[in-house]
Amino acid sequence: MAQDTAPAASPAAAPPAGPAGPASRLQPVQPIRLLIPIAVGVALWFIPAPDGVDAPAWHLFAIFAATIVGVIARPLPMGAVTVLGLVATLVTGVLKPDEALSGFSNSTIWLIVTAFFISRGVIKTGLGNRLALFFVSRLGRSPLGLAYGLAATDLVLAPATPSNTARAGGIIQPIVRSISSSYGSEPGPTSRKVGAFLTSSAFHANAITSAMFLTAMAGNPLAAQLAGDQGVEVTWGAWALAAIVPGLVSLAVIPLVVRFIYPPELKHTPEAATTARGQLHDLGPMSSAEKVMTATIVGLLALWTLGDRFLGMSATTTALVGLVVLLISGVLTWDDIKKETQAWDTLVWFAVLVMMATQLNALGLIPWLSGEMSSLVSGMGWQPAFILLTLVYFFSHYLFASNTAHISAMYAAFLATAMMAGAPPLLAALVLGFISSLFASVTHYSCGPAPVLFGAGYVPVTAWWRTGLVVSIANIALWMGIGGLWMKVIGMW
């Protein structure tokens, strides 16, 4: 019979601590995955630049394209891949050091990094879990009510949680799994009881909330920065104001769409609400750390919405003030900041991608590409041209496994083309920005939350893709129809 625990190793059996020990073993990359982006970059480098494109711009495009392919192929973690791209720009002499490192001083990047630190407080204090239990206790008497409760949790947490993966995997998924198991719904034959519906609804709600706030998904500030490079200012308040109506409508409609396509077998789940109330009772009153965290989030939302207009305080400054409050109050410690590896990782890859995209625009590659694309839609009128560009941008996400990679590769060119076709700049920038989160609905590999929720095993691939396609069409109609009308009402175009 196998032992439940392994016997303690004797000193003689312990691995050596020197160079041959496990800690010093090489961690090789996957050679095929590394050769693919290198081959792409080398091939583009030696192809003659098209007419109208200078050699430095074309060579930077070759490095940029290789970097994006590397982000998708993942021979190394994303941050490491972008560092390789950064070094390539320096070694080849395409960029000077001050140009190549300029992204690290970008205030938009520090906004999203600081928001990661703040979101750590939401998880550390348990505020996120308390919010989820609260909404489930109030709305959880049916599977649809549970779906709305989980969506409401995601919505409340989204403005201060730029990692949609953390929201989906750290807060929402454990609640979904717990509720599903309590009703005997496990991956496999019983998944359709309630687990498959809740998983699918939670995933699509996460894509919607990611689109509603500038700080709800790490790629949103990248889109805003790329828009700013083309003279279109997108503030936190403008993004939230434009997204609030189509976002709330989508959160109300999409769970109904999912229920129609992929209905749960159970129709009533009163025990879920009762259990959540019991767990809330066990938690007791809010701790002082939760109260400080709540007050900080409320203050951040107020300043992000109004601070720039009335106090001259930028969104980045506001985020840093919020972080200082959490540090002084003891909600976060400096060790918490040092250990927030996702934030520091984001700082690196975000800075490199922003730098490359900015330099491509400055060197004339993006204007040239946009001019070429605009010739394809010339004579159509800006409305049909913009709809066509939007659909191509949306459904090309079937080719991507990262929102950020997709934004980096295509957002700037599609925005410039839309504006050349006559689309109102702010409308075009915001709609393409919203779509940069919404297109995550299409596949089970589309973004960070997708493999987290798909990996639970409740929803088969065919059902995931079928539901994703229908939800995508519904979201396009809601965000471009109702959203476009709403932005017209508030004077954004």
Neighbouring residues of 437: CB distance < 8 A, sequence distance ≥ 6: 164, 207, 208, 210, 211, 216, 217, 219, 220, 403
* Separation in Å, CA 394 to CA 328, 388, 426: 43, 10, 18
Indicate the pLDDT class of residue 270, thresholds 50, 70 and 90.
confident
Q: Is the pLDDT confidence value at 324 over 90?
A: yes
Among 66-80, 125-139, 265-279, 471-485, which range has the highest average pLDDT?
A: 471-485
379, two tokens:
């004579």
Q: Is the pLDDT confidence value at 114 over 90?
A: no
- Helices and strands, number each (H, E), in the chain: 25, 0
Least confident of 208-222, 307-321, 340-354: 307-321
Neighbouring residues of 28: CB distance < 8 A, sequence distance ≥ 6: none
Least confident of 173-177, 184-188, 213-217: 173-177
Question: Residue 264's pLDDT is what?
Answer: 93
First CA to last CA distance, the chain? 73
Tens digits of residue pLDDT in 119-161: 888 888 888 888 888 888 888 889 999 999 999 999 998 988 8
What does the pLDDT average to over 110-115?
A: 83
Measure the CA–CA gap between 472 and 26, rounded to whole angstroms. Answer: 43
Residue 303: strand, helix, or coil: helix
302, two tokens:
């107020």
Q: Where are the domains of the chain?
A: 49-104, 126-284+364-490
How many Å separate Cα 281 from the centre of its chain? 33
Question: Residue 152's pLDDT is what?
Answer: 92
Question: Residue 24's pLDDT is what?
Answer: 56
What does the pLDDT average to over 384-395?
A: 92
Indicate the pLDDT class of residue 8, thresholds 50, 70 and 90.
very low
Look at 129 and 464; give whichever has higher pLDDT: 464
Tens digits of residue pLDDT in 43-58: 999 999 988 889 999 9
Q: Is the pLDDT confidence value at 16 over 50?
A: no
Indicate the pLDDT class of residue 26, thresholds 50, 70 and 90.
low
- Percent of all residues in the chain with a pLDDT value above 70, rounded to a whole number: 94
**Contact assessment for residue 225 and residue 354, using Cβ atoms and an 8 Å cutoff:** yes
Tens digits of residue pLDDT in 412-461: 989 999 998 899 999 999 999 999 999 999 988 788 788 888 888 899 98
**Contact assessment for residue 434 and residue 479, using Cβ atoms and an 8 Å cutoff:** yes
Question: Residue 1's pLDDT is what?
Answer: 37
Tens digits of residue pLDDT in 325-349: 999 999 999 999 999 888 898 888 8
Nearest to 234 by CA among 481, 405, 413, 487: 487
Question: Residue 5's pLDDT is what?
Answer: 38
Nearest to 203 by CA among 436, 399, 468: 468
User: Phi, psi (5° rounding) for residue 93?
Assistant: 75, 10
Q: Average per-residue pLDDT in the chain?
A: 87
